């Protein structure tokens, strides 16, 4: 019998565990991403979007992943807001489209999060149908007969919104997970499921870009790290 060292075994299991996963950030620079260089950089090993009184974002602007599009996938990442006037709003766009490449404007599904206490975990559609699911909701979206105005039915709960918010750390790192398969969308923050959505409308995109949001408004800073994509 041929014996394999414990170190070799660990390496085998480690490589198997990460099969099919892609790291979207190298921890050093913005290779593979495109956005306004005056607003996006790498600070302390994290992708950093930052606005100031002197350097504001005229509109919501995005750092766009340029290495492909996503359809069915799972994305995990860590995010952190730095408290500046108690403000910060951001999100991750998925299955989205580039509306204005020159100004890095993107529209589509967005996994939302903020420094405040209301919107973290919701499903939003940027430049589209607006809020599609509030935190804690299971939702079915069906056509209403009016394009852009879907029928949204709350079918249950994923948990208590206040309890989910209580698990989110201020001015510290939190883990977000987005799981999308077919017309089924799920968000999780720090292990708590925040929404569960079935979108049966023709407006529900099946494929598109990933992008990170830096919100217009008061000065803010948001950071991202450990972005790992798994595609079916």
Question: pLDDT tens across 203-219, in order?
Answer: 999 999 999 999 999 99
pLDDT of residue 208: 98
Range of the domain at 60: 22-231
Asked if pLDDT for residue 221 goes beyond 60, the answer is yes
pLDDT for 6 beyond 70 = no
Higher pLDDT, 15 or 86: 86
The answer to the question of residue 14 being in a domain is no
Average pLDDT over residues 53-82: 96
pLDDT tens, residue by residue, 179-196: 999 999 999 999 999 999
Name 43's bridge partners: 46
**pTM beyond cutoff 0.75:** yes
Q: Residue 121's pLDDT band (boundaries 50, 70, 90)?
A: very high
As a whole number of angstroms, the distance between CA 94 and CA 92 comes to 6
* Residue 182 within any structural domain of the chain: yes
Rounded-to-integer distance, Cα 40 and Cα 62, Å: 9
- Within a domain: 9: no
How many structural domains are present in the chain? 1
pLDDT band at residue 19 under the 50/70/90 scheme: low
Q: Is the pLDDT of residue 2 over 70?
A: no
Q: What is the 3-state secondary structure (H, E, C) of the chain?
A: CCCCCHHHHHHHHHHHHCCCEEECCCCCCCCCEECCCCCEEEECCEEEEEECCCCCCCCCEEEEECCCCECCEEEEEEEEEECECCECEEEEEEEEEEEECCCCEEEEEEEEEECCCCCCCCEEEECCCEEEECCCEEEEEECCCCCCCCEEEEEEECCCHHHHHHCCCCCCCEEEEEEEECCEEEEEECCEEEEEEEECCCCCCCCEEEEEEECCCCCEEEEEEEEEEEEC
Residue 145 vs residue 134, higher pLDDT: 134
| pLDDT value for 18 | 65
95 in a domain, yes or no?
yes
DSSP-assigned beta bridge partners for residue 62: 213
The pLDDT, as a whole number, for residue 3 is 43
Distance in angstroms (rounded) separating the CA atoms of residues 113 and 93: 11
Asked whether residue 102 is domain-assigned, the answer is yes
Distance of CA 73 to the CA centre of its chain: 12
Residue 7 has pLDDT above 60, yes or no: no
Q: Is the pLDDT of residue 90 over 90?
A: yes
Does 1 reside within a domain? no
Kindly report, residue by residue over 156-180, the tens digit of the pLDDT.
Answer: 999 999 999 999 999 999 999 999 9
pLDDT greater than 80 at residue 143: yes
pLDDT surpassing 50 at residue 151: yes
The CATH number given to whatever domain includes residue 55 is: 2.60.120.560
Nearest-angstrom CA–CA distance, 166 and 151: 30
Could you give the dihedral angle defined by the CA atoms of residues 30, 36, 38 and 39, in that order, rounded to the nearest 10 degrees?
A: -80
The mean pLDDT value of the chain amounts to 91
> Is the residue at 2 inside a domain?
no
In whole angstroms, what is the distance from residue 116 CA to residue 8 CA? 46
Any domain includes 12:
no
């Amino acid at each position: 019998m041929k014996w394999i060292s414990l170190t070799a075994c660990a390496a085998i299991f480690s490589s198997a565990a990460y099969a099919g996963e892609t790291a979207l950030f190298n921890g050093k620079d913005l290779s593979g991403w495109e956005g306004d260089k005056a607003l996006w950089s790498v600070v302390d090993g994290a992708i950093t979007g930052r606005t100031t009184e002197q350097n504001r974002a005229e509109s919501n602007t995005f750092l766009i992943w340029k290495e492909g599009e996503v359809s069915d996938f799972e994305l995990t990442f860590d995010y952190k807001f730095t408290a500046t006037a108690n403000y910060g709003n951001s999100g991750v766009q998925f299955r989205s489209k580039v509306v204005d490449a020159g100004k890095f404007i993107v529209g589509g599904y967005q996994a939302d999060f903020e420094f405040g206490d209301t919107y973290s975990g919701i499903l939003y559609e940027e430049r589209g149908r607006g809020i599609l699911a509030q935190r804690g909701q299971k939702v079915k979206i069906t056509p209403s007969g009016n394009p852009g105005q879907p029928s949204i039915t709350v079918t249950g709960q994923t948990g208590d919104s206040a309890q989910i918010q209580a698990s989110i750390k201020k001015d510290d790192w939190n883990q977000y997970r987005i799981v999308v398969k077919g017309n089924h969308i799920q968000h999780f923050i720090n292990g708590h499921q925040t929404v569960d959505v079935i979108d049966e409308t023709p407006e529900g995109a099946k494929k598109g870009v990933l992008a990170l949001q830096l919100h217009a408004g008061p000065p803010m800073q948001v950071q991202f790290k450990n972005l790992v994509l798994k595609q079916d």
